[in-house]
């Protein structure tokens, strides 16, 4: 981890990290590469790696509490603590009413609380140097991940790079016949698309940042181009739509919120970025055709807007099966499915909204309401920052967090749960350091 962080930190002219920064990057690396170990080395590494990153997350929360960082945000900490107590007490009530296993309750507390606390703890204790290095490191992972996805895309579904060590024939997901849905280093397609959603605002931020050397300019430009390429070859409609919308919002926002002489720079930057997008689309025309075909097949099988509505509010059948107590927090997670049957499957609804209501009952509604409240506060604050300073970085991060909190399987899927905590850390930290320089001037030597 230290070795990987140094060259990226050097791009920023700064390599110092606090303990919080090191633990955060350690969790990030484990989340990104644990799938590769499971996929290409041994599936037996799954639980040890999950346990390792969970222990690191718990350690960081304890460390931040012990050092008093939570006291600096006393009101928000009290709210989060009160919410945690409500979830724990409600979970105990569910366990008594439904006669569920204490182990499933612990799994539920892990999914509902741990990585929210982790992201919040990181943001409380993270320094500007930590934030800068973490952002550059995440973009560096994108630079590694996207070429791997391209290689997977142009390889056959049966190629070693697309097949897990314990793969059962027919388990490789395809976008269309003969073309895989790429996974990068992750063991499942949703992990890769979720990763793209996390790094997309970071890549856009460093693309617009002031550069002080050719090396920095090349790095930022490559990160942006590979974000577009990685989305094109993903074979995932969500990745293509979200990346396209985020880029459009970012470019439009730069033109709207920039001031004076910066308007001209923003216009030139927008034109250059649009040309880069056009070149990427042209060069990967076959992947664009595959994505178009996938959109067409999906449109024939389902109504697009009904699908979007279902993702955000849950399946209609969920409301028919809803009970005020809920079936128990943790019951709908893939880890609980693995504990019960040995298969990491979702036992409840397909969507995050549906699983939240089915697991939590009334507290599921409260959880959804709290998400909307936090997002409203964060987006409004980041919008004010954009209007006051012209800096769009916090706004696009909070928009990405809105997608994550409302649509990702955060309480159901292990990788999405951890990446959501990482995105929470980045979003909160961006509000703390909205004018961070990703490529600061190197200190003068004496």
Domain-embedded: residue 257:
yes
Predicted local distance difference test score (pLDDT) of residue 118: 98
Is the pLDDT at 4 greater than 50? The verdict is no
Average pLDDT over residues 150-161: 89
Closest to 409 in 3D by CA, of 398, 399, 419:
419
CA distance 200 to 183: 16
d(CA 193, CA 200): 10
Q: What is the pLDDT of residue 309?
A: 80
The distance from CA 169 to its chain's CA centroid, rounded to whole angstroms, is 30
> The tokens of 274 are what?
């649009």
Query: Residue 135: pLDDT above 90?
Result: yes
Task: Give Cβ neighbours of residue 240 (< 8 Å, ≥ 6 apart).
Answer: 231, 232, 234, 291
* Structural domain span for residue 73: 2-432
Q: pLDDT by residue (tens digit) across 270-320?
A: 899 999 999 999 998 888 888 888 777 777 777 767 777 877 877 888 888
Band (pLDDT 50/70/90 cuts) for residue 170 is low
Residue 277 lies in a domain: yes
Per-residue pLDDT reduced to its tens digit, 207-247: 988 888 999 999 999 999 999 999 999 988 889 999 999 99
Locate 41 and state its tokens: 């080395």
Taking only the tens place, the pLDDT of each residue in 93-102 is 999 998 888 8
- 182, two tokens: 């790429």
Count of domains observed in the chain = 1
Q: Please report the pLDDT score of residue 322 as a whole number.
A: 84
Q: Is residue 209 part of a domain?
A: yes
List alpha helices for 155-213, DSSP H. 189-208
pLDDT given for residue 168 in this prediction? 57
Q: Is residue 254, in this structure, part of any structural domain at all?
A: yes
Tokens of 12: 């920023």
The pLDDT of residue 292 is 85
Per-residue pLDDT tens digits for 321-367: 888 998 999 998 888 877 776 655 556 777 888 899 999 999 999 99
> Is residue 258 predicted with pLDDT exceeding 70?
yes
Residue 153 domain-assigned (yes or no)? yes
pLDDT digits (tens, 9 = 90+) for 398-413: 999 999 999 999 998 9
Query: If you average pLDDT over each of 62-66, 162-166, 290-294, 349-353, which comes out highest?
Result: 62-66
Confidence of residue 3 (pLDDT cuts 50, 70, 90): very low
Element (H, E) at 176: strand 174-176
Distance CA 196, CA 139 (A): 10
Q: What is the model's pTM? A: 0.92
Least confident of 65-79, 290-304, 375-389: 290-304
* Residue 170 CB burial class (10 angstroms; 0-12, 13-18, ≥19): exposed
* CB-facing half-sphere around the CA of 367: CA atoms within 13 A: 27
Assigned token pair, 298: 């999906």
**Residue 397 placed within a domain:** yes
Q: Looking at the domain assignment, is residue 444 inside a domain?
A: no
Look at residue 134 and tell me if it is in a domain: yes
Spatial contact of 401 and 120, defined as CB atoms under 8 Å apart: no
Q: So what's the pLDDT on residue 12?
A: 43
Which residues does residue 174 pair with via DSSP β-bridges, in sequence order? Answer: 180
pLDDT at 116 over 90: yes
CB atoms within 10 A of CB 350: 16
Average pLDDT value for residue range 417-433: 97
């Amino acid at each position: 981890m230290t070795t990987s962080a140094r060259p990226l930190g050097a791009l920023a002219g700064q390599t110092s990290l606090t303990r919080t920064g090191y633990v955060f990057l350690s969790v990030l690396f484990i989340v990104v590469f644990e799938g590769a170990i499971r996929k290409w080395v041994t599936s037996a590494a799954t639980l040890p790696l999950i346990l390792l990153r969970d222990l690191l997350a718990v350690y960081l929360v304890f460390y931040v509490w012990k050092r008093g960082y939570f006291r600096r945000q006393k009101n928000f900490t009290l709210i989060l603590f009160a919410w945690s107590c409500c979830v724990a007490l409600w979970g105990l009530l569910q366990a008594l009413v439904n006669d569920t296993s204490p182990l499933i309750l612990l799994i539920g507390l892990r999914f509902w609380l741990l990585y929210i606390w982790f992201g919040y703890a990181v943001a409380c204790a993270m320094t500007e140097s930590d934030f800068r290095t973490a952002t550059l490191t995440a973009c560096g992972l994108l630079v590694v991940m996207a070429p791997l996805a391209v290689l997977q895309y142009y390889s056959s579904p049966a190629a070693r790079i697309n097949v897990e060590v314990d793969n059962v024939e027919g388990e490789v997901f395809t976008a269309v016949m003969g073309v895989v849905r790429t996974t990068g280093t992750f063991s499942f397609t949703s992990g890769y698309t979720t990763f793209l959603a996390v790094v997309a605002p970071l890549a856009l931020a460093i693309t617009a940042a002031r550069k002080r050397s050719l090396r920095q300019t090349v790095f930022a430009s490559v990160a942006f181009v590979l974000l577009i390429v990685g989305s094109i070859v993903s074979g995932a409609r969500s990745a293509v739509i979200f990346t396209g919308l985020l880029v459009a919002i970012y470019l439009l926002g730069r033109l709207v919120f920039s001031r004076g002489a910066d308007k001209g720079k923003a216009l030139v930057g927008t034109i250059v970025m649009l040309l880069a997008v056009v070149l990427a689309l042209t060069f990967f025309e076959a992947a664009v055709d595959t994505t178009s075909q996938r959109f067409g097949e999906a449109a024939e099988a389902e109504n697009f807007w009904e699908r979007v509505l279902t993702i955000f509010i849950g399946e209609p059948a969920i409301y028919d099966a809803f009970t005020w107590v809920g079936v128990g927090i943790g019951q709908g997670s893939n880890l609980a499915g693995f504990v019960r049957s040995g298969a990491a499957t979702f036992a409840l609804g397909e969507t995050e909204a549906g699983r939240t209501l089915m697991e939590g009952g009334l507290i599921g509604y409260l959880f959804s309401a709290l998400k909307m409240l936090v997002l409203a506060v964060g987006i409004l604050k980041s919008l004010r920052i954009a209007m006051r300073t012209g800096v769009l970085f916090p706004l696009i991060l909070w928009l990405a967090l809105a997608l994550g909190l409302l649509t990702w399987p955060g309480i159901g899927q292990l990788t999405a749960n951890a990446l959501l905590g990482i995105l929470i850390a980045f979003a909160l930290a961006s509000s703390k350091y909205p004018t961070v320089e990703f490529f600061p001037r190197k200190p003068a030597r004496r």
